[in-house]
């Protein structure tokens, strides 16, 4: 195409010269975008990497394009109004609420088990292996179900999948609360894991597909708010029922059936995603749903643009299994890499380790009462929840990219602060000065350690000491009571934390003057992680795939999240043994930094765009996709999303 034809075409589309800039005449592979720049001027952009567009097609779609150009004149509200979404969003909020109950159950069921385990191991006399099984079976089942959820989502639709997940949650909750033995408990935990996996990948997709563009980020982020809310409520329930020595765990585990039934009943009355209906050719139903959820009859523009783009995408995405089509279609492949990368770095930056070990960290910081541990975990979960709320507020203001980048760099720094705190604590580790003559202690490995640091890293030992002001006196390394790590198996610390001997029992930590640095690191970590790296991987994944690839893309990335979750939780204790605590946290910090550079290069801004336009953000080389972020520019698709073979792309990855 020559510059002259380009100008001619632009004027046919209603653009005057001066309205557009940045025309490049590299004609072999052109794709054009109309964009609204920050200064308010319309820009007609030519971009590499796409076949030349067919003139008639763009002309035919000109009125629609102009409407979309107007719709995108500014971020947020304007775009929704111009695109005909001027109805009340109340119904969408209701849909988001009932969907996000799935997030709540995800948080509740993963969070509640630590408190339940304290009671279960005593009541059912569980070995370490069984404890491990009951905790990780759920996460393992979630990983498998998330991967399978892609197929279910495409075949059954989002609504049926959510109904299925809430049904599974309800059944799982009932089984757990009535379980007569550990084998049935394991079945219950596996069933609940299946529910978590399906819900974790379906809910964000459903919310994204029913939301208007200007609210989408916020509504999907509410799902993560519900996850952290579920984790917080779980820790409060754990605290409340921990005083019930018999059967407290039945309430803890069984209570999840309540929100599950609520969600099931709610979803009987909620509609299917209009995008999925359109994809299945149920156009009339799709239009009705859209009219209903936008609370206006004026949905023609939105309906037409979704429909035409879905049709184009369907034609152009080729045949074969969806995963294969994603891998061979450059923009979808890039989206998948970004989506999986986000989920992987979310877990590799250690959120679940930090949450799990928060009670220990707080004990190090001077909170000595072991009975308080469960409430300390609640305080951490609450902080996580509170800062996720900040994310809900920021996501449509700062945008996904800035929020993620700010969050991950802050997370990397806080992990280093945590590591420095652990390092200084290790260096100031008090020596063992008292060697008890108790025969059972003499046989244990604990007597070999000369410093608290080494004693604490051995899971079989704990540190027993007295205090005079800030001076540690009469300290010994004693074997832990395997049934109750809150006390030593024998000796001065064997009865309770602070027995009649006036001695303190430190399991998993050492008394140290640097604990405030560790505490500072923990607070900073949650403040940075929760608004961005907590919710954005879920939010961005719900947006970046074209419809034909959305279920499979989300299934893969959610699967990666769960697999990395298992990996990090299973390896932490071994890592702490080999690398020490500070080594482990420096490693997480390094991984978070790596994540920062990955996102700096690859993560585009998706704020305010229609889902159908987002694929175009991945039209360039992967490491330059991030360049689409940061500028307040909205790209409007002129032609359908061709999926080019790699040879067609002048600037492949």
Ligand X SMILES: O[C@H]1[C@H](O)[C@@H](O)[C@H](O)[C@@H](O)[C@H]1O
Alpha-carbon separation of residue 150 from 83, 109, 643 (angstroms) = 30, 22, 21
Nearer to ligand X, 47 or 377 (CB): 377
- CA separation for the pair 282, 64 (Å, rounded): 22
What tokens appear for 540 in the block? 């961005």
Distance CA 415, CA 403 (A): 18
Collect all residues with Cβ–Cβ distance below 8 Å to 432 and sequence separation of at least 6. 449, 450, 451, 452, 455, 463, 475, 476, 477
* Least distance to ligand X, CB of residue 150, Å: 18
Cα(532)–Cα(524) distance, integer angstroms: 13
The count of residues interacting with ligand X (CB under 6 A) is 12
Candidates 79, 80, 224, 475: give the one binding ligand X (CB under 6 A): 224
Q: Which is nearer to ligand X, 23 or 356 (CB)?
A: 356
Choose between 276 and 598: whose C-beta lies nearer to ligand X.
598
| Footprint (CB under 6 A) of ligand X, residues 255-284 | none
**Binding flag, residue 211, ligand X (CB under 6 A):** no
Q: How many Cβ atoms are within 10 Å of 114's Cβ, its own excluded?
A: 18
Distance CA(561)–CA(541), nearest Å, equals 11
Provide the minimum distance between the beta carbon of 231 and ligand X in the complex, in angstroms, as a whole number: 6
What 3-state DSSP class applies to 478?
strand
Binding pattern for the stretch 486-525 against ligand X, x by CB under 6 A and - elsewhere? ----------------------------------------
Which of 227, 310, 326, 563 binds ligand X (CB under 6 A)? It is 227
- Which residue of this chain has its Cβ atom nearest to ligand X in the complex? 534
CB of 558 to ligand X, least distance (A): 9
In the bound state with ligand X, the residue whose beta carbon lies nearer, of 115 and 271, is: 115
Give the span between the Cα atoms of 172 and 255, in whole angstroms. Answer: 11
**What's the sign of the alpha-carbon dihedral 627, 630, 634, 640?**
positive
Name the residue nearer to ligand X (CB basis): 331 or 595.
Answer: 595
Q: Is 202 in the site for ligand X (CB under 6 A)?
A: no
**Whole-number Å distance between alpha carbons of 356 and 268:** 36
* Least distance from ligand X to the Cβ atom of residue 572, Å: 14
Q: Which lies closer to ligand X via its Cβ, residue 351 or residue 644?
A: 351
Judged by CB under 6 A, does residue 225 bind ligand X?
no
Q: Reduced to 3 states, what is the DSSP secondary structure of residue 20? A: coil
For residue 288, how far is the Cα from the chain centroid?
32
The half-sphere exposure of 276 on its side-chain side, counting CA atoms within 13 A, is 22
- Tell me which long-range contacts 282-286 makes (C-beta under 8 A, separation of at least 24): 283/307
SS3 call for 479: strand
What H or E segment, with its residue span, contains residue 162?
Answer: helix 158-178
**Beta strands of 81-147 (E only): which ranges?**
none
Residue 635 belongs to what H/E stretch? strand 634-637
Helix axis angle, 128-156 to 90-111, nearest 10°: 150
Q: Of the ranges 4-12, 224-232, 308-316, 590-598, which one interacts with ligand X (CB under 6 A)?
A: 224-232
Residue from 565, 616, 619, 639 touching ligand X (CB under 6 A): that is: 565
Does the footprint of ligand X cover residue 326 (CB under 6 A)?
no
Q: What is the per-residue binding string for ligand X in 339-358, x denoting contact by CB under 6 A? A: -------x----xx------
- Contact between 135 and 117 under an 8 Å Cβ cutoff? The reply is yes
Q: What is the arrangement of strands in the sheet containing 471-479, beginning at the earlier edge strand?
A: 471-479, 461-468, 504-506
- Of the pair 58, 358, the CB lying nearest ligand X is at 358
Binding mask 377-416 for ligand X (x = CB under 6 A): -------x--------------------------------
**Closest CB 565 distance from ligand X, rounded Å:** 6
Write the DSSP symbol of residue 400. Answer: H
How many residues are listed for the chain in this entry? 653
- Smaller CB distance to ligand X: residue 228 or 619? 228
Which range of residues in 75-83, 118-126, 225-233, 598-606 is near ligand X by CB under 6 A?
225-233
Look at the block and give the residue holding tokens 């989206």. 335
Could you tell me which of 553, 533, 622, 607 has the C-alpha nearest to residue 204?
553
Asked if 473 and 467 touch (Cβ cutoff 8 Å), the reply is yes
CB of 196 to ligand X, least distance (A): 11
> Cβ closer to ligand X: 259 or 641?
259
Candidate ranges 190-198, 204-212, 220-228, 332-340; the one touching ligand X (CB under 6 A): 220-228
Which residue stretch of 209-217, 227-235, 483-491, 639-647 sits at the interface with ligand X (rule: CB under 6 A)? 227-235
223 binds ligand X (CB under 6 A): no
Binding to ligand X by residue 592, rule CB under 6 A?
no
| Residue (80 or 388) nearer to ligand X, CB | 388
Which of 532, 511, 528, 531 shows the shortest CA–CA distance to 520? 528
β pairing state of 461-468 and 471-479? antiparallel
The residue (of 107 and 641) whose beta carbon lies closer to ligand X is: 107
CB-wise, 306 or 536, nearer to ligand X?
Answer: 536
CB of 349 or CB of 508, closer to ligand X: 349
Residue with smaller CB distance to ligand X, 224 or 494: 224
Where does this chain touch ligand X (CB under 6 A) — which range of 223-231, 307-315, 404-412, 427-435? 223-231
Shortest CB 107 distance to ligand X, Å: 7
Residues numbered 531-560 forming contacts with ligand X, rule: CB under 6 A: 534-535
Question: How far is 512 from 515, CA to CA, in rounded Å?
Answer: 6
Residue of 99, 153, 211, 228 interacting with ligand X (CB under 6 A): 228
Q: Which stretch binds ligand X (CB under 6 A): 17-25, 221-229, 299-307, 361-369?
A: 221-229
From residue 348, how far is each of 359, 530, 585 by CA, in Å?
Answer: 20, 14, 11
Positions of E strands within 398-494: 461-468, 471-479
Closer of 138 and 228 to ligand X (Cβ): 228
Choose the stretch contacting ligand X; rule: CB under 6 A; options: 20-28, 52-60, 226-234, 518-526.
226-234
285 binds ligand X (CB under 6 A): no
Q: How far is the CB of 197 from ligand X (least distance, A)?
A: 12
Kindly state the tokens that stand for 80. Answer: 């929704």
CB of 375 to ligand X, least distance (A): 18
Which parts of this chain interact with ligand X (CB under 6 A)?
A: 224, 227-228, 231, 346, 351-352, 384, 534-535, 561, 565
């Amino acid at each position: 195409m020559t510059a002259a034809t380009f100008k001619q075409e632009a004027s046919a589309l209603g653009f005057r010269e001066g309205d557009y800039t940045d025309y490049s005449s590299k004609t072999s592979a052109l794709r054009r975008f109309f964009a609204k720049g920050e200064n308010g001027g319309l820009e007609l952009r030519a971009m590499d990497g796409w076949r030349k567009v067919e003139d008639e097609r763009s002309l035919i779609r000109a009125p629609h394009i102009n409407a979309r150009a107007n719709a995108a004149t500014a971020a947020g509200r304007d775009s929704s109004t111009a695109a005909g979404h001027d109805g009340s969003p109340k119904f969408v909020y209701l849909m988001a609420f009932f969907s996000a109950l799935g997030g709540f159950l995800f948080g509740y069921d993963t969070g509640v088990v630590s408190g339940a385990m304290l009671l279960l191991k005593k009541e059912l006399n569980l070995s370490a292996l069984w404890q491990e099984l009951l905790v990780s079976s759920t996460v393992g089942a979630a990983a498998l179900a998330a991967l399978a959820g892609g197929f279910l989502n495409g075949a059954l639709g989002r609504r049926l999948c959510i109904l299925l997940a809430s049904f599974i949650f309800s059944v799982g909750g009932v089984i757990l609360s009535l379980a007569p033995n550990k084998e049935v408990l394991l079945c219950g935990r596996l069933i609940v894991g299946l529910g978590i996996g399906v819900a974790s990948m379906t809910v964000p997709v459903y919310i994204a597909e029913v939301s208007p563009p200007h609210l989408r980020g916020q509504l999907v982020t509410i799902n993560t708010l519900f996850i952290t809310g579920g984790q917080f409520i779980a820790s409060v329930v754990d605290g409340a029922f921990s005083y019930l020595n018999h059967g407290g765990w039945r309430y803890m585990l069984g209570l999840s059936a309540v929100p599950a039934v609520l969600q099931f009943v709610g979803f009987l009355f909620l509609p299917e995603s209009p995008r999925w209906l359109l994809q299945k050719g149920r156009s009339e139903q799709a239009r009705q749903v859209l009219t209903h959820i936008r609370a206006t009859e004026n949905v023609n523009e939105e309906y037409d643009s979704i429909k035409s783009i879905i049709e184009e995408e369907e034609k152009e995405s080729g045949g074969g299994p969806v995963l294969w089509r994603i891998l061979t279609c450059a923009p979808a492949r890039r989206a998948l890499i970004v989506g999986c990368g986000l989920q992987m770095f979310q877990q590799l930056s250690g959120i679940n380790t930090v949450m799990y070990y928060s009670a220990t960290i707080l004990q190090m910081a001077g909170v000595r009462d072991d009975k308080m541990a469960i409430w300390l975990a609640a305080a951490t979960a609450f902080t996580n929840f509170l800062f996720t709320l900040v994310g809900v507020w920021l996501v449509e203001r700062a945008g996904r990219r800035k929020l993620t980048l700010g969050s991950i760099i802050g997370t990397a720094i806080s992990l280093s602060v945590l590591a420095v705190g652990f390092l200084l604590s290790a260096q100031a580790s008090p020596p063992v000065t008292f060697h008890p003559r108790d025969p059972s202690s003499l046989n244990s490995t604990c007597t070999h350690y000369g410093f608290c640091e080494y004693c604490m890293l051995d899971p079989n030992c704990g540190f027993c000491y007295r205090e005079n002001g800030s001076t540690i006196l009469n300290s010994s390394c004693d074997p832990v009571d395997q049934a109750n790590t809150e006390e030593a198996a024998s000796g001065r610390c064997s009865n309770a934390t602070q027995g009649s001997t006036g001695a303190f029992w430190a399991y998993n930590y050492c008394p140290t003057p640097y604990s405030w640095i560790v505490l500072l690191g923990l607070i900073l970590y949650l403040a940075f992680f929760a608004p961005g790296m907590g919710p954005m991987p879920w939010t961005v994944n719900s947006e970046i795939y074209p419809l034909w690839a959305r279920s499979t893309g989300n299934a893969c990335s959610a699967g990666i999240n769960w697999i990395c979750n298992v990996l990090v939780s299973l390896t932490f204790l071994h890592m702490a043994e080999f690398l020490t605590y500070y080594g482990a946290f420096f490693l997480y910090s390094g991984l978070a930094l790596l994540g920062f550079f990955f996102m700096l290069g690859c993560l585009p801004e998706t704020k305010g765009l229609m889902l159908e336009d987002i694929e175009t953000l991945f039209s360039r080389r992967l490491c330059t996709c991030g360049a689409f972020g940061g500028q307040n520019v909205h790209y409007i698709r002129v032609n359908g999303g061709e999926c080019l073979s790699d040879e067609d792309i002048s600037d492949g990855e």
